[in-house]
Amino acid sequence: MDGLKNKIKSIFTILFFLLMIFGFSNKTNAISIVIEEQVFHELTRSWENITLLYDNYFHNSSDVYQEINRFHYLVPDLIDMETIGQSYQGKDLKVLKITNELKTYQKAKTLVVGHHHGREQISIEAALRFIIHLLNSYQKDEVLTNYIDTQEIYVIPMLNPDALDIVINEGNHWLRKNVRPFDDDGDLEFDEDQREDVDGDGKISSFDVYNNTNPSYPIYMYSYYEGIDNDGDDQINEDMVGYTDLNRNYDAFWREGGGWDPDPISDSFPGPTPFSEPETQAFRDFALQHRFAMAYSLHSGINATYFTDDEGGWTEYVLYKQMVDDYREILPSSYTSMYHEPSTSHKPIADLSYILSGSWDTWMYQKRGTIAPITFELYRNLSSISLESETIVEENSTHKIIEWTEIYGYFNPEKEFINALWEDVKPGFDYLLANTPRLGIEAWIELKGFEQGDEIGLSLALDNLSPRIETMDRIGVFEEDLSLIKNGTRITAAGSDSLQVDLVLPHSLEEQGYIIKVGNEYIGFKPFEIKRKEVRYGLIIGLSVAGLVSLGSGLGIYFLVRRR
């Protein structure tokens, strides 16, 4: 009996291999037309975690250049660096684009710009740490990796490098504006009578003078600063460095809204004309090339997250209220309770003076269509303006003079607390990336053709992955050169939509695939390829029949054994 079984097995084995040969050699093919997301080379992480060259330290401009050049050198696959202009003194203004460079199509865009104001150097420190956060998280954190793969994240760490160097290198922590010279005192000399640290304590003091005729209620009169009479005219600090407040120099409600001063000596002087300064000109020219739905400008000195206003209050009241509530959730409670409550100036009002004149966020909203340009304030030390930080240096029956030396601590933490502050605010940066609108797209073909002139019917299922911000513009389907094929609609935050598209093949798919792109300027243009796929039925038949033969062999032996 065993011999018979072996003979049967041998016969079925021969049949199995003959059918397999038939299957692999048979050339009966079928053509399938499919649409698939365009494939790009995969990026393999090749770098160890990045650290700062200068940690627990406030960077000057040379230090910043060293850091970002090193980032670019170590991780060129994620960083593209560009000079967008020069400062008044000719220092480069750099922007870093962080994205998966192997995915070469235009993606959703978001922006962080630091350091409009010289004395707010903590904004540079946060920008540098944000870059490191992205580089070190790539292919280690799934969510952040997805953001980097699907977004172009632009970071301008330092917009006012000239002022930064005076603040860091010379210890003038009062300097807010850029450093274009101005003859403040009209003596045909420039910046010759500045504030100085006369007593050598490493700080430039301010002195507030009060009318003290009623000591119970002293009335503030004016302030002056530590310094000497450099030009011999019996006055001090009358021609200080600094000219234009860069955050009042943008061409939106310039000299019309509130928050500016026509006196060139003022810290909020808006400049002689909109975009009069090379720093804001460089940013303008850069921003005109891009569309950002959401963006951050980093500042310090007041504990609030500012959104844009118009004559009726917030420009997007519902959205901004939702975002304020979000910040309460994602930032430490001690932070949000002090820093991220909307102030009275953000509540609905009918007064043009509450529109911040010539500011970055006003311009980004009014002129560049950014729905959420957020002034993200990072730090203020309230204890630095407490009574304990002030010293009465003179008091009599007519006046009182109070010295204040804590300007440095007001805008910036002590250097050993920089990293702790970054950890506190880091969730706000992840929030920026999460809310940059981008699409999840599924595509399939309803009507198939593959020759030139054939009609193709496509169906697209579209999901807006931003929980707060709509897609801004309508979603479109485009040719590879971005010629419009069909427009759809805007998609609300966290919303979904579908789009049906009929198109005519411009060439045979036998020659090459047909590339289309889906998206808009805000969310990018994701490419898909319509192409032929050949299916070999012979291989499928051969494998199927071989399986049946194997099954038949087993059953034959089984029944033979049963009969015995």
Nearest Cα to Cα of residue 296 among 376, 380, 411, 377: 376
pLDDT band at residue 485, thresholds of 50, 70 and 90?
very high
Looking at residue 489, its pLDDT comes to 97
CB neighbours of 554 closer than 8 A, spacing ≥ 6?
Answer: none
Looking at residue 84, its pLDDT comes to 98
More confident residue, 21 or 40: 40
pLDDT band at residue 32, thresholds of 50, 70 and 90?
confident
Total Cβ atoms within 10 A of residue 261? 14
State how far the Cα of 516 lies from the Cα of 35, in Å rounded to an integer: 10
State how far the Cα of 513 lies from the Cα of 531, in Å rounded to an integer: 5
pLDDT at 226 over 90: no
pLDDT at 82 over 50: yes
More confident residue, 258 or 135: 135
pLDDT at 350 over 60: no
pLDDT at 554 over 70: no
pLDDT at 343 over 50: no
Q: pLDDT (tens digit, 9 = 90+) per residue, 286-295?
A: 999 999 999 9
Which whole number is the average pLDDT over 50-59?
96
What's the mean pLDDT when you consider all of the chain? 85
Domains and CATH numbers, the chain: 31-42+437-534 (2.60.40), 51-179+247-382+410-436 (3.40.630.10)
Task: Return the structure tokens found at 191.
Answer: 């910046």
Q: Name beta bridge partners: 504.
A: 455
Looking at residue 562, its pLDDT comes to 43
% of the chain beyond a pLDDT of 90: 60
Looking at residue 18, its pLDDT comes to 47
Q: Name beta bridge partners: 81.
A: 96
% of the chain beyond a pLDDT of 70: 80
Q: pLDDT (tens digit, 9 = 90+) per residue, 94-145?
A: 999 999 999 999 999 999 999 999 999 999 999 999 999 999 999 999 999 9
Which whole number is the average pLDDT over 214-243?
75
Looking at residue 171, its pLDDT comes to 84
Among 75-79, 252-256, 383-387, 436-440, name the one with the lowest average pLDDT: 383-387
State how far the Cα of 176 lies from the Cα of 558, in Å rounded to an integer: 92
pLDDT at 510 over 50: yes
534-554: burial string, b at 16+ Cβ within 10 Å, e else? eeeeebeebeebbeebeeebe
Q: Name beta bridge partners: 527.
A: 517
Among 25-34, 147-156, 336-345, 431-440, name the one with the lowest average pLDDT: 336-345
Which whole number is the average pLDDT over 388-408?
80
Quick check: 279 and 160 in contact, CB under 8 A? yes
More confident residue, 327 or 404: 327
pLDDT band at residue 186, thresholds of 50, 70 and 90?
low
Rg (CA), the chain: 33
CB neighbours of 126 closer than 8 A, spacing ≥ 6?
Answer: 114, 298, 378, 421, 422, 425, 429
Task: Return the structure tokens found at 174.
Answer: 């009062």
pLDDT band at residue 208, thresholds of 50, 70 and 90?
confident
Nearest Cα to Cα of residue 103 among 525, 535, 532: 525
pLDDT band at residue 401, thresholds of 50, 70 and 90?
confident
State how far the Cα of 153 lies from the Cα of 433, in Å rounded to an integer: 8
Which whole number is the average pLDDT over 550-561?
43
pLDDT band at residue 224, thresholds of 50, 70 and 90?
confident
pLDDT band at residue 405, thresholds of 50, 70 and 90?
confident
Task: Return the structure tokens found at 397.
Answer: 């029956």
pLDDT at 400 over 80: yes
Looking at residue 550, its pLDDT comes to 46
Total Cβ atoms within 10 A of residue 343? 10
pLDDT at 386 over 80: no
20-54: burial string, b at 16+ Cβ within 10 Å, e else? beebeeeeeeeeebebeebeeeebeeeeeebebee
Give me the amino acid identity at 86. Answer: Q
SS3 130: helix
Which whole number is the average pLDDT over 12-25?
48
Which whole number is the average pLDDT over 482-504?
96
More confident residue, 342 or 266: 266
Q: What is the pTM of this model?
A: 0.86
Looking at residue 406, its pLDDT comes to 72
Q: Where are the beta strands (DSSP E) in 46-107?
A: 79-86, 92-98
